[in-house]
Chains A and B, each alone.
Chain A
Amino acid sequence: MNGIHDMGGMHGFGEVTHEENEPVFHESWEGRVMGIRRSLVKHKIFEPYNFRFTVESLSPSEYLNSSYYERHLRAAENGAIAKGFITKEEMDERMEFFRQNPDALPERREDPKESEQIQKITFMLEPLHRDTGATPGFNVGDVVRARNINPQGHTRLPRYIRGKTGIVVKYYGNHDFPDIDMNGNKSEPQPIYSVQFDAEELWGATAEVNQLLFIDMWEGYIEPA
């Protein structure tokens, strides 16, 4: 979707500020959100879409006003509601309870086996290559143009690349195609390439000197130029 998350090349966000000795989690709730999100993987709460599309679907104002973990929290909550695991009313009531009882903590449920399964996800190496037999339609060195597509669903083709011409520099194999349409439909895995773009091609005369941009392009994102 042409959403606020697609930020490459936007102006107005100011300087990059750098925090020395930053902790992994600034607040303990951030770590809980991380753990909840990972625990929810097996319940497939974001299907037929995915976690990223759930985050991207937050309203632009909510997206910009939320921190990384706030977005994840909202996505987990919205996913759990969409799947019918919890209701909005239950959330409101439970929040009211914790508001009235600031020292109360969520009750605990211990399950060593579940933790073991989740630790497996944390350390598991899951290869991306899919043996579909699909042969790559482009060769290293080919000049290609990124397609001008504007899907409403999930895509990994950012706006600043669309319509621009670059060179295929590497073929990585066949990966799952990430795009998901508004009905939750996906396509078969596709060849994926590293494609190099000149900064001037992307940004015109205002480009900085001596810069290249590399981005991963699935076969469906590019056409011969």
Chain B
Amino acid sequence: MSIEEHHHHDESYAELRTKALESLLVEKGLIASNAIDDVVRTYEQDIGPMNGAKVVVKAWTDPEYKKRLLEEGTSAIEEVGFTGAQGAQIVVLENTDDIHNMVVCTLCSCYPWPVLGLPPSWYKSEAYRSRAVVEPRAVLKDFGLELDPAVNVRVWDSNSEIRYMVLPQRPAGTDGMTEEELIEIVGRDSMIGVAVVESPTSVR
């Protein structure tokens, strides 16, 4: 069969292919079914943006921790309990009134898995990968975020094994909130740098 004949790209075709591959590799004793189940469960349940949100809130509420996080991201994140594949070295970038950082991987879809989980579809899309480096402000507009021209936009192309995560600004009006409440408002997109964290009062 040629590639073109293969290429239906409906879910069922990929599903069929996956079943065939898994079945053959299991039969040859190369992979274990339960190991695959565990990988799936881990990324569905245990590793996701809630990890990064905990890191962000700790930085918002503990100035000494924030200092460590910005200087040595990997070890500061390990303090909170997060390590693993696609996070061998994590550099944390602080957004301020004057600087807005955002992260892309133009060559692939590299992403800090231990703190943010697996990347969302838009991060892996050709549109984001091609445009984020050349027209970041226009891309941010697609996300509903319009930045003042005075704000310096810093785009990080994640081309090496180093992974980047954004420390978003703590919104005004959140002084009385508990850490648990703060964790709830830190969205995944703010830690990639395509959104800001809104204060809960301004959301609705």
**CB atoms of A95 and B20 under 8 A apart:** yes
Find out whether the CB atom of B85 lies under 8 angstroms from the CB atom of A25: no
Specify which chain A residues have a CB less than 8 angstroms from the CB of B171 in the assembled complex. none
Considering the complex, which residues of chain A in the window 20-55 have a beta carbon less than 8 Å from any beta carbon of chain B? 22, 24-29, 31-36, 38-40, 43, 52, 55
Is B184 an interface position by the 8 A CB rule? no
Q: Mark B8-34, 1 if CB is under 8 A from A, else 0.
A: 010100111111111111111111111
What mask results when residues 159 to 199 of chain B are scored 1 for a CB within 8 Å of chain A, else 0? 11110000000000000000000000000010000000000
B42 interfacial contact with A, CB 8 Å: yes
Q: Which of A26, A31, A121, A199 contacts B85 (CB 8 A)?
A: A121
Asked if residues A85 and B30 are in contact (CB atoms below 8 Å), the reply is: yes
Chain B residues whose CB sits within 8 angstroms of the CB of A107 once the complex forms: 23, 26-27
A-side interface mostly: mixed
Interface centre among B7, B33, B125, B161 (most CB of A within 10 A): B33
By beta carbon, the residue of chain B nearest A215 is B157
Known contacts A13-B125, A213-B157; is-contact A86 B107 (Cβ 8 Å): no
Q: A64-B126, A77-B21, A105-B19 are in contact. List 20 more A-B contacts (CB 8 A).
A: A7-B130, A12-B130, A13-B126, A16-B143, A34-B43, A40-B30, A61-B3, A73-B14, A90-B24, A91-B17, A94-B23, A95-B16, A98-B23, A109-B32, A110-B33, A118-B38, A121-B85, A122-B42, A160-B106, A211-B155
| Total B residues in contact with A, Cβ cutoff 8 Å | 87
A66 within 8 A of B: yes
Partner-contacting stretch, out of A124-132, A136-144, A180-188: A124-132
Closest 9 CB pairs of A and B: A35-B36, A8-B106, A111-B32, A216-B160, A106-B23, A31-B40, A94-B20, A35-B39, A125-B83
Whether A124 and B85, one on each chain, are in contact in the complex, defined by CB atoms closer than 8 angstroms, is: yes
Q: Contact at A7–B129, with CB atoms within 8 Å?
A: yes
Q: Inside 8 A of B155's CB, which chain A residues have their CB?
A: 211-214
- Cα–Cα distance between A209 and B155 once the two chains are bound (Å): 13
Which of A11, A38, A156 is B130 in contact with, Cβ under 8 Å? Answer: A11
Do A125 and B35 form a contact, CB below 8 Å, given A16-B139, A95-B16, A95-B20? no
CB closest residue in chain A, given B4: A61
Asked whether, in the complex, the Cβ of B129 is within 8 Å of the Cβ of A8, the reply is yes
Option from A26, A64, A175, A212 in Cβ contact (under 8 Å) with B160? A175
- B152: A residues at CB distance < 8 A: 210-212
The interface centre, meaning the residue of A61, A76, A216 with most chain B CB atoms within 10 A of its CB, is: A216
Establish whether residues A208 and B32, one from each chain, have CB atoms under 8 Å apart when the complex forms: no
Residues of B within 8 A of A109 (CB): 26, 29, 31-33
